[in-house]
Amino acid sequence: MRTAIASHSRIMTILLVLVCIALLMSGCSALGFKQEAKDFTLPDFNGDMVALSDYQDENIYLNFWASWCEPCVQEMPAIEKIYQENKDKGLVILTVNTGEDKATVEEYMKTNGYTFPVLMDLEMEVARQYKTASIPVSFFINKEGKIVTKKEGLMTEEEMRKAIGKLQ
């Protein structure tokens, strides 16, 4: 009987250790821990270098996209709307174009009347740093520099607003 209890106890201990390892490898999101946003520096359209750390102590909506990406194109009107509503209210919106040249992106923005900031990640270094397996992908970063929400794929305006609400 004692052998069965000891064996069961060892199995439970092993399972607990495996669950803890899995949580640690997944960024501890199930425990409510938030991952630190990695700093980066990229050029904007004017060639000015912009760093994520330039917006320390501010809430940030960071979105990776490309003009050839249909889901990205679908969410752009909502991003523009949220940008217009929040640009003077303490929410920074930074979009990162992945892999396209400046002329293509400028034409796309002009044609569609979008005015939100675009950073150019031509070599996709920052996209790799943020482990973006696909686009669009959005990160919502709080004033402490922690990623509160990450969403891969198309976001609706309602989903964006909900994620922004978690930053407050």
SS (H, E, C) the chain: CHHHHHHHHHHHHHHHHHHHHHHHHCCCHHHCCCEECCCCEEEECCCCEEEHHHHCCCEEEEEEECCCCHHHHHHHHHHHHHHHHHCCCCEEEEEEEECCCHHHHHHHHHHHCCCCCEEEECCCHHHHHCCCCCCCEEEEECCCCEEEEEEECCCCHHHHHHHHHCCC
| Cross-strand pairs, 64 | 96, 137
Residue 142 has pLDDT above 70, yes or no: yes
Residues 69 and 144 in one domain: yes
Residues 91 and 18 in one domain: no
Residue 6 has pLDDT above 90, yes or no: no
Q: How many CA atoms lie within 13 A of 93 on its CB side?
A: 22
pLDDT of residue 34: 76
Residues 80 and 160 in one domain: yes
**85: containing domain:** 34-165
Q: What is the mean pLDDT of the chain?
A: 86
Condensed to tens digits (0 to 9), the pLDDT of residues 21-34 reads 444 444 434 334 47
Condensed to tens digits (0 to 9), the pLDDT of residues 93-135 reads 999 999 999 999 999 999 999 999 999 999 999 999 999 989 9
Structural domains of the chain, count: 2
CB 154 within 8 A of CB 74: yes
pLDDT of residue 86: 92
